[in-house]
Amino acid sequence: MYINITDNKEAANKGSSGALVNYLEKENRLENGKEPELWFNGQRHDIEAYEVRHALDGNNAKLGKDEAKFFLVNISPSQKELAHLKELFGKEELKEQLKAYAEKVMDEYARNFKRPGINSSKDLLWFAKLENHRYYTYKDKEVQDGTKKRGEKKTGDQIHIQAIVSRRDITNRIKLSPMNSSKGRNIEHSKKMGQFDRMAFKQCGETLFDEKFDFERNLKDTMAYANIQKNGTLKQREQLDMLEKGASQNYQSKSIASELIKDVAEGLFHTTGDMLESVGKSIGGFLEILMEPVYDPGIAPNDIDDAQRRKKKKKKRGQSTDQSQGQQMSR
């Protein structure tokens, strides 16, 4: 699950939301003749583009001309996640389920500020739109090497959601910025703006998806894994190496690895031994689990025993044949 908040240095978000709203209407223009994809939030699923622009542009009290007026939250499931949803719900119901999930993500966005009075998405002014396609841009390697043209549709399932959220809360009184990550270093600023942990927000989105849709995520597909690979210390990489070995071996060790990897990413363990002790295991005990056979539901224990007996008999027959041949040659 890829969740990202567009940095205000890159987004044209210091003026009217009109340009962004118009851009996100592109599929409705390109797919002319089809039923348009309307905007939604926690209360309605039939919001028109002009309503979005009017509400956002009217909710920026006491914001200076150089201050961000809104932020863009990108909620993009992976191909594996979309395939899982399609298998569970079918293509059309998948979209409704994804919208419901996006509403839960915006609840987490609100709670992440840790501010009194900001408890759920109902305390925010936000609007989201489901998009069915993605298009190549000049940043894509395929456009740069000439294999694709800018504006061409990308192949595969590309369903995702874009949410525009106002800098001000629903009352137009409280200023909220997800770009403030002071984490207590500037207490007064945190009280005024709300402390926002972007990594924790993204992790919440991943955990929420897994729990809501009963999705069994591979270790290498977790955000924690990507963070350790990109920014991890030597100790974290050593701990990750142990977890990778476990996750590839059997269900029990995979379960332990999934339980521990988030804490490893947060740097909670001084050593690999400390990591395993946190779940009641020693390094030796964990290695014993790794040595256990991989369970295959298609093979019964009796089948394994029979196969081993046949192997022994075959070996004995081979030895008997060799002995008889040796006796004949000695004669």
Cβ burial of 115 (10 Å; 0-12, 13-18, 19+) is buried
What's the pTM? Answer: 0.80
pLDDT at 189: 57
The CATH number, out of the four listed (1.10.287, 1.10.490, 3.30.930, 3.40.50), of the domain defined by the range 2-212: 3.30.930
Q: Which residues contact 189 (CB under 8 A, 6 or more apart)?
A: 180, 182
pLDDT tens sequence across 210-264: 999 999 999 999 999 999 999 999 999 999 998 888 777 767 778 888 888 999 9
Q: What is the mean pLDDT of residues 266-273?
A: 90
Confidence of residue 299 (pLDDT cuts 50, 70, 90): very low
Confidence of residue 314 (pLDDT cuts 50, 70, 90): very low
pLDDT tens sequence across 117-159: 999 999 999 999 999 998 888 889 999 999 999 988 898 899 9
User: Could you tell me where in the chain the CATH 3.30.930 domains are found?
Assistant: 2-212
pLDDT tens sequence across 58-100: 999 999 998 999 999 999 999 999 999 999 999 889 999 999 9
User: Hunting for tokens 């591979």 — which residue is that?
Assistant: 218
pLDDT at 21: 96
Report d(CA 162, CA 213) in Å as an integer.
20
Residue 9 has pLDDT above 60, yes or no: no
pLDDT at 34: 85
Residue 38 has pLDDT above 60, yes or no: yes
How large is the greatest C-alpha to C-alpha distance in the chain, in angstroms? Answer: 110
